[in-house]
Amino acid sequence: MPDYALMNQLVFEGNQAEVKSLTEGALDEGRDVKEVLEEGLIAGMKVVGEDFKRNKIFVPEVLLAARAMKAGMSVLEPLLTACDGDAQRDVIVMGTVKGDLHDIGKNLVGMMAEGAGFTVVDLGTNTSAEEFIAAVREHDALILGMSALLTTTMVYMKTVVDAVKEQGVDVSVCIGGAPVGPEFCDEIGAHGYAADAASAVQLFKRLVAARNSG
Ligand code: B1M
């Protein structure tokens, strides 16, 4: 059994090399990729968030922890994005909204969506409504996925939804990120909300199926 408590501690300490090595070790032991992600990496980042909130640690430490988390994710990425077959892939355009630089959750959603057979066009962070819409048009995307981690940036999701409607863009808009929820989704008129990466993939599949049958 991998020492997930140690992995959590190493994420907290921002030890990139050790997090990478323990992540590889857990996979070598045959542990499930989602278990390693949830129990080894995300659980460590949760503690970082709690201590950050209580002013026990500050931005530089959080940044180091984020790098360590990404080092572990880089090991999991080939497994999360692996997908059988080369059928026509539906396109999702995804980004973190304007003003917001958090990208770990958005990246995870993207990896798992690729693993489920979607093509993900990742616009990165700090993405404007214009950039989202231009990418949807360019790639003929069926889904526009937005992530926000700040209460100050989640409101920008409505700006994007409004722009999509005003410009008559035919795309299903999905939102996620720690401060948003289903009520906010309804309030801004988005098509769907998901709490985590696995349910985001289920949501994308449901919306695409509904579009195809509609
Ligand atoms: Co920041 N930060 N941060 N931060 N940070 C939070 C979000 C915060 C909650 C910390 C806290 O106070 N406890 C707080 C926000 C408070 C608020 O708004 N209410 C905060 C703050 C205040 C800030 C700064 C303002 C700090 C400062 O400068 N004084 C600043 C803002 C910078 C900016 O964006 N403009 C800032 C900066 C940073 C770092 C750069 C240091 C770093 C980000 C590094 C990076 O992403 N590359 C960072 C981090 C790491 C965090 C915490 C600790 C961890 C976030 C994370 O990666 N979680 C975070 C604390 C927390 O969230 N509790 C915090 C792990 C990740 C797997 O989860 O992103 O929630 P999450 O994604 C999940 C789901 O939400 C969902 O699926 C994912 C996987 O399961 N999901 C979707 C996400 N997107 C989705 C999209 C979907 C569907 C599901 O559909 C499209």
Which one-letter DSSP state was computed for residue 99?
T
* Residue 18 CB less than 6 A away from ligand 1: no
Give residue-wise pLDDT tens across range 18-69.
999 999 999 999 999 999 999 999 999 999 999 999 999 999 999 999 999 9
Residue type, 148: A
Q: Is the pLDDT of residue 169 over 90?
A: yes
Whether 112 contacts 80, CB under 8 Å: yes
Give residue-wise pLDDT tens across range 119-167.
999 999 999 999 999 999 999 999 999 999 999 999 999 999 999 999 9
* Residue 145 CB less than 6 A away from ligand 1: yes
User: Which protein residue's CA is at the shortest distance from atom 42 of ligand 1?
Assistant: 63
- Determine the Cα–Cα distance for residues 180 and 182; give it in Å rounded to an integer: 7
- Determine the Cα–Cα distance for residues 4 and 133; give it in Å rounded to an integer: 41
Average pLDDT along the chain = 96
pTM over 0.75: yes
* Token pair for 1: 């059994």
Give residue-wise pLDDT tens across range 96-113.
999 999 999 999 999 999
* Token pair for 80: 């999360």
* Token pair for 192: 């769907």
Q: Is the pLDDT of residue 87 over 90?
A: no
* Residue 108 CB less than 6 A away from ligand 1: yes
Domains assigned to the chain = 4-83 (1.10.1240.10), 91-213 (3.40.50.280)
Long-range Cβ contact pairs of 180-187 (< 8 A, separation 24 or more): 180/148, 180/154, 184/154, 184/157, 187/158
